[in-house]
Homo-oligomer: A and B are copies of this chain.
Amino acid sequence: MFRKNVPETTIKRLPVYLGVLEHFEKQGREFVNSQDFEDLVDIKQAILRKDLSFFGELGIRGKGYEVKSLTFQIKKLIGIDSRTWKTVIIGAGNIAQALMKYKSFEDINLDITAAFDSDPAKIGKRFGNVPVLDIGSLEQVINEEGIKFVILTSPGEVVGEILEVLKQTKIKGLINFTPEYLRVSKKVKVINVNITAKILTMFFYLKNQ
């Protein structure tokens, strides 16, 4: 599908570009150029052009990029098109509840099918209209619903067992909100969202100017 193998860094910037385009779309701009991107977020113009070049010639020389068309292209690349991505949240604690109530997920066609917990006090409840189910039914739901990636928020102690269950499924991705390092098959893409680590990194910068 792509002309070259796309660098990790490029992939991480695609969502940023989408945000920039949305910004200009709201302003009614029909065309933007790479300098407009640089002025709005701190990504150098040459980076934007090189990033996009991995996916073809998406701009018009001498003119720039058409906002609508580039938005469409990037959405297609990422996979936000007609399709809806389904996921489940493992754990129904504080962070999980925040995610369940998070409105912006509608914009990216993310459908949180259910959350899973072992606490009887939580099972049966709903947060932001997402039901909390018994952790015992996790494997079954993933299989039945054809879930491709899960969001892990459970406490560190149970992560081991959860990974054993997930090994029985065909998931291809995992977003990890726990501070644990996860040892999973190379075929599963793990994306870490380690809040404590981010805060520690902030400490480091503050301490050392």
Contact = CB atoms under 8 A, between A and B. Distances in A.
Contact of A204 (B14, B104, B200): B14
A102 B91 CA distance: 14
Interface in A85-133: 85, 94-95, 97-99, 101-102, 104-105, 107-108, 110
Chain A: number of interface residues, binned into ranges: 35 or more
B94 A15 contact: no
Contacts of A70: none
A200 B94 contact: no
A193 B198 contact: yes
A207 interface: yes
Nearest to A149: B202
Interface stretch (A61-69, A72-80, A136-144): A72-80
Given A15-B194, A19-B179, A77 B204 contact: yes
A190 to B, nearest CB: 10
A206 interface: yes
A199 B172 contact: no
A200 B107 CA distance: 11
Q: Is the interface of A mostly helix, strand, loop or mixed?
A: helix
A202 B189 CA distance: 8
Contacts of A16: 181, 197
Interface of A: 1-2, 11-12, 14-16, 18-20, 40-41, 77-80, 85, 94-95, 97-99, 101-102, 104-105, 107-108, 110, 148-149, 172-173, 175, 179-181, 189, 191, 193-208
Given A18-B200, A19-B179, A79-B204, 17 more contacts: A11-B201, A11-B205, A15-B201, A16-B181, A16-B197, A77-B207, A78-B200, A94-B97, A95-B102, A97-B98, A104-B196, A107-B196, A108-B203, A173-B205, A191-B201, A193-B193, A193-B198
